[in-house]
Structure 1
Amino acid sequence: MTRPVTVGVDGSPAGLAAADWGAREAQLRDVPLRLVHAWEWQPCSHAPPEGPEYARRWSEGVPREVSARLHRSYPNLDITADRLIGPPPEVLCEAAEEAELLVVGTVGTGVFAGFLLGSVALAAVAHSQRPIVLVRASTAEGDEHPGHASAVASARPVVLGLDLGRPSDEVIRFAFDSAALRAAPLLVVRGGNPPARNGVSGVGGEPDREADVAAGETEFMRMVLRPWQEKYPAVDVTQQAVIGQPAHHLLDAGTSADLVVIGRRTRSPRAVLPRIGPLAHAVLHHCPAPVAVVPHG
């Protein structure tokens, strides 16, 4: 069974941006596109104010209208649209189980100001067992999203935030697949502070030691990535082992990226409830490019 790219649509500009990104991604992957609208009556900023019955009819039209719009732009793409009943986070996570990946929109407020990352998006990221991509809406007319997928070769890289402490095959595979589909280069970023010596961090005080730490991590990155580069020989890989907070370096790389890929651990001995972690939280709120969060054990 071919898994579709599934997009959560809600009639908002962010949902339309996600639908467009999902359509392009489905074309790249040569899979169907599924649009899912979750209906649960509650007041919201983009719903009509006339009342429950009008809102219900509006909700029924959302997936049809988005589907018709995408059919005009992607006439050869297999598109289905479903309106499902239930809380949006639960509906989206259930739909994601049958999907190649799930795409959800976020509201962009500017590269440096951050996103208005809603509860639906956060809950979907925290609970989904499948990869989920968050796409921001354009903040100004004519402002093309830097991460819009393209059916042709892309000059923008795919960026992978690599956790060398627990390298995940699922996360690395997703990043290499994404770069190969786009005929794009892959930038692998690993950031961190060198271990403290005599109780004092080495950042800023011992340049030679910092250089030694970066060189050691670069060599370890080569070892981790070597089998993947052999499997994907057409992907041009650049490695970047840097000193400092990983989120900062990923955000810098994300300003010119087609896609940023990070992982989320699904099993943590200290986590009672699903959580996304501080790095993912920072990247999801501030990265201007679409961000793929890949769950792994």
Structure 2
Amino acid sequence: MNQRIVVGLDGSTESVAAAHWAAREALLRNAPLHLVHAEEWFSPLNIPAARSDLRRQWAQALLLEASKELMEKHPRLDISTESFDGQPADSLTSATASAGMLVLGSRGLGTLKGFVLGSVGMAVIHAVEEPVVLVRATEDALPHAERRHLDRDVVVGVDIGRPCDALLAFAFDEASRRGCTLHALHSWMLPPLAGSGSAYNPEANAQIAQSMRTGLDDMLKPWRDRYPGVSLDAQVMVGHTSEQLLETGSEAGLVVVGRRLRRSSIGTHIGPIAHAILHHSTAPVAVIAHE
């Protein structure tokens, strides 16, 4: 059996949508589903201890209700629950250490499309090396959207100048399980305007584009051979990577982006492309940590 999928529940509509998305994913992977609620309990001197007991009872009721709802929808699903008393980010990180995936809900940016990545979500993405999927409470994530989980394609952004094995392994496996098309996208920018006017030289730009296509084909060949049943659409596009990914993934079932593993506490842990996709994608987003 595959590693379990962990879902963070906090009672919000978004976390419930994440649980339903994760349940469908668990069935695809023949994996158990683990529902987790984490909260740090404070008991100031002027607040009775019973107040904390009530909150713990609420947490248990939340997990029980979510578990029952998912079991009614998916009777074959193996579901377990766990409530943590402590920092949510630390608890979710600990729960994900032996898991295959963590799924979190995220609210939208007001009237804008995309995600609001709160402090807990940001801290968890920084800390874990397992795939983290962010899900919004959109029509695609609601309980009745089971077919849409399978019908829509997977989009992955790759950089042919860097190793992308972890991203491609996840993306090809996901597309294979769903039986959908995988869109692998590499974007490049026109060279800056120079004295020779190279940015507007059609022949030079065509050569660069062909070189990019060759590089992308070479990167994808081992994965084509490993997953011959996956329908692959490889594209080299001119423009900002984040903009191209957002456009290509606007109707996708999942957008896959990478983040570089950083062993140092100094500097950002989520690159600008992943950050932009997380904040503006209308589709669920999988963040894959890789070297």
Q: Helix, strand or coil for the counterpart of 1:107?
A: coil
Q: What residue identity is the alignment partner of 2:192?
A: A
Per the alignment, residue 194 of structure 2 pairs with 198
Q: How far does residue 145 in structure 1 lie from its aligned partner after superposition? A: 4.1
TM-score normalised by L of structure 1: 0.87
Unaligned runs of 5+ in 2: 43-49
Q: How far does residue 3 in structure 1 lie from its aligned partner after superposition? A: 1.2
In the alignment, the residues of structure 1 paired with residue 64 and residue 198 of structure 2 have an alpha-carbon distance, to the nearest angstrom, of 57
Q: How far does residue 267 in structure 1 lie from its aligned partner after superposition? A: 2.9
Q: How far does residue 202 in structure 1 lie from its aligned partner after superposition? A: 5.9
Alignment match of 2:213 (pick from 215, 218, 237): 218
In the alignment, the residues of structure 2 paired with residue 94 and residue 110 of structure 1 have an alpha-carbon distance, to the nearest angstrom, of 31
Per the alignment, residue 23 of structure 2 pairs with 23
Pair 1:134–1:200, CA change in 2 (3 A): farther
Q: Helix, strand or coil for the counterpart of 2:190?
A: coil
Identity among equivalent positions (%) equals: 40
Q: How far does residue 274 in structure 1 lie from its aligned partner after superposition? A: 5.5
For the aligned residue pairs, the C-alpha RMSD in angstroms reads 2.6
In the alignment, the residues of structure 1 paired with residue 149 and residue 245 of structure 2 have an alpha-carbon distance, to the nearest angstrom, of 22
Pair 1:188–1:111, CA change in 2 (3 A): farther
Q: Is the 8 A contact 2:113 2:282 kept in 1?
A: no
Q: Is the 8 A contact 1:25 1:149 kept in 2?
A: no
> Which residues of 2 match residues 1-297 of structure 1 at below 5 A?
2-41=2-41, 52-109=52-109, 112-138=112-138, 143-145=139-141, 150=146, 154-196=150-192, 198=194, 205-267=200-262, 272-273=266-267, 275-297=269-291
Q: Is the 8 A contact 2:41 2:85 kept in 1?
A: no
Unaligned runs of 5+ in 1: 43-49
Q: How many residues align?
A: 283
In the alignment, the residues of structure 1 paired with residue 198 and residue 14 of structure 2 have an alpha-carbon distance, to the nearest angstrom, of 43
TM-score normalised by L of structure 2: 0.88
Q: How far does residue 163 in structure 1 lie from its aligned partner after superposition? A: 1.4
Pair 1:200–1:160, CA change in 2 (3 A): farther
Q: Helix, strand or coil for the counterpart of 2:107?
A: strand
Q: Deviations 1:163-182 (Å, cap 9, x if unpaired)?
A: 11212211110000000000
Higher relative helix content:
2
Q: How far does residue 268 in structure 1 lie from its aligned partner after superposition? A: 6.9
In the alignment, the residues of structure 1 paired with residue 34 and residue 274 of structure 2 have an alpha-carbon distance, to the nearest angstrom, of 26
Larger Rg, first or second structure (1 or 2): 2
